[in-house]
Structure 1
Amino acid sequence: MFSLDETVAPPAPALDELVPSRYALKVGDIDVLVVSDGVLPLPTQMLGHNVSAAERAPWFKDMYLPPDALDWALNVMVVRSGDRNILIDAGLGMDPDLNLPRAGQLIRRPGASGIDLREITDVVITHLHMDHIGGLLVDGVREQLRPDLRIHVAASEVEFWKSPDFTRTNMPPGFPDALRATATQFLAEYGSQVHTFEDAQEIAPGVTARRTGGHTPGHSVVRLSSRGEALTFAGDAIFAVGFEQPNWHNGFEHDPEGAAQVRIALLNELAGTGEMLVATHLPFPSVGRVSADGDAFRWVPVFWDF
């Protein structure tokens, strides 16, 4: 699959891959590889559509970010625990006619990611938005996957996408239709390999998926725990603005108030344990910890280990 020895000194990148696209670490005995799927350019209002542009502006200014649009990172993880090789989310895949040419890099450049799809035993899908499942729908990918592949998704997530409700989201035009179509295609193509769980499921030794809800009804996080160390992959429960402004509503949240409650609870939990955090849309490699800061929080990126 991959080893930390291999990721320490990868082959020289091609000229179009000068930006690092993978980062390896260990959580006790569990091997972890964070892989970049590229970036999504989206309007800044997507990070806080329940507050005015004037209220949002100071945060973007303090972060040296443009006021109108920014690039959201896309991160996935590969985990090896025991004899299980687990892909956590699968990236965007091909651009669904929404002008997202810099996303979907995981599947387009498998050599850069260091992932051998033939060795994946399990896939955990945090939720069925297209930037988490689209990589599995790229032509030729399914043929590389094992016939006994197990795909783990919360049961309430599968049920939601049979008739999804977008009334409380705040997305750019075209996104709801693309999300609906991608989820429908995914369940049609992989339904026989989907294994659902209600609240929590141990995927492998020390690897547990847990439903949080909020962002989507079946949104889940994945916690790794081994030899006194831990890391939580938070999916879309946490965005960069969510540390300082945890009550701002993200445009992709189907239950904004519920998502804020989930975010605050998870941030409090991580600040209490001091364990590591990785999230889909935090700047790559997004490995850090959470510190409580009054009624808000602070993200503390880890120092890279070379």
Structure 2
Amino acid sequence: MIVSDGVLPLPTQMLGHNADPASRASWMADQFLPPEAFDWALNAVVVRSGDQIVLLDAGLGLDPNLNLPRAGQLIKRLEAADIDLTTVTDLVLTHLHMDHIGGLLVEGIKEKLRPDLRIHIPAAEAKFWEAPDFTRTNMPDGFPAALAATAKRFLAEYRSYLRLFDEKQEVAPGVVARRTGGHTPGHCVIRIASGDDALTFAGDAVFAVGFDHPDWYNGFEHDPEEAARVRIGLLRELSASGELLVATHLPFPSLGRVAVDGDKFRWAPMYWDY
């Protein structure tokens, strides 16, 4: 199940800070998007595998200091979908940016979680946030400090829940997390397979502009060149396999396939079947 955490308004420069401003503006116009800022989707995924219920990412949370009332909706929407937090056995975090972990820091949420909840992240991600490096990012003022503070608080509060892995971890039957790096050193993607069907939750490895311009650098990427390499490699994998893709910041419900289109990629969203 794909669940929306809401939307997060951000400057359009964040989609490609290494791009020529005129080219970026042209892409925005071609997509019928506003030129200065637009709403990024925030998506999470819930997976049932045998007797395990796995949550992929935890949303932004409801920090009143952020003044983002249209985001941080994940917990409320899980409840609306009759998903009780006490039944979640495993949580996989693609990385520790605050729009992926903030839901765990909402007052009263930790008390609702199982005491034996397993939170899976690559060891490289936990290590990075001990002394994060923002020198190659391109974020609005205040974001680096907020990201660092949120990750530090998360690691302090949930250290005993963490199940660290190096490169790959089977979280549940058919649910495998794989470290990609790039966006953050420990960023990971999660592949979900059942029979002949498979889906990859790509976290922040892929953004909407990444199909037409996979070499554009996102402002939140801590290693932009590596992030572009990861993005291109992942899109090539998915175009070859035909497997489904979901990503955090693709428009909800963010479910579709990838095709190669010359020296670019093409996003083919799924049609609703009801």
Tell me the TM-score normalised to structure 1 length.
0.88
Aligned length: 274
Partner of 1:74: 42
- Choose the corresponding residue for 2:184, options 216, 224, 228: 216
- Choose the corresponding residue for 1:166, options 120, 134, 137: 134
Does 2:27 correspond to 1:59? yes
**How far apart are 1:113 and its partner, in Å?**
4.1
Contact preservation (8 Å) 2:95, 2:188 = yes
Residue type at the aligned position of 2:235: L
CA distance in 2, matches of 1:39, 1:175: 17
Q: Give the 3-state SS of the residue equivalent to 1:147 in structure 2.
A: coil
Contact preservation (8 Å) 2:91, 2:117 = yes
Contact preservation (8 Å) 2:3, 2:77 = no
Residue type at the aligned position of 2:187: H
CA distance in 2, matches of 1:209, 1:96: 32
**How far apart are 1:97 and its partner, in Å?**
2.1
Q: Give the 3-state SS of the residue equivalent to 2:212 in structure 1.
A: coil
- Choose the corresponding residue for 1:182, options 128, 150, 163: 150
Contact preservation (8 Å) 2:3, 2:78 = no
- Choose the corresponding residue for 1:94, options 31, 40, 62: 62
CA distance in 1, matches of 2:66, 2:157: 22
Partner of 1:193: 161
CA distance in 2, matches of 1:48, 1:195: 34
**What do the CA deviations read for 1:241-270 (whole angstroms, capped 9, x no partner)?**
000000000000000000000000000000
Does 2:83 correspond to 1:115? yes
CA distance in 2, matches of 1:99, 1:46: 19
**How far apart are 1:114 and its partner, in Å?**
3.4
CA distance in 1, matches of 2:71, 2:212: 27
CA distance in 1, matches of 2:235, 2:167: 19
Tell me the TM-score normalised to structure 2 length.
0.98
CA distance in 2, matches of 1:87, 1:109: 13
Residue type at the aligned position of 1:64: F
Alignment of 1:1-306 (within 5 A): 33-95=1-63, 97-306=65-274
Deviates more, 1:285-294 or 1:100-109: 100-109
CA distance in 1, matches of 2:92, 2:208: 23
CA RMSD, aligned part only? 0.9
Contact preservation (8 Å) 1:153, 1:196 = yes
Q: What are the ranges of 5 or more consecutive residues in structure 2 without an aligned counterpart?
A: none
**How far apart are 1:108 and its partner, in Å?**
3.9
Partner of 1:10: none
**How far apart are 1:99 and its partner, in Å?**
2.6
**What do the CA deviations read for 1:36-84 (whole angstroms, capped 9, x no partner)?**
0000000000000001221101111110000000100000000001111
Contact preservation (8 Å) 1:230, 1:276 = yes
Contact preservation (8 Å) 1:106, 1:113 = no
**How far apart are 1:289 and its partner, in Å?**
0.3
Contact preservation (8 Å) 1:74, 1:281 = yes
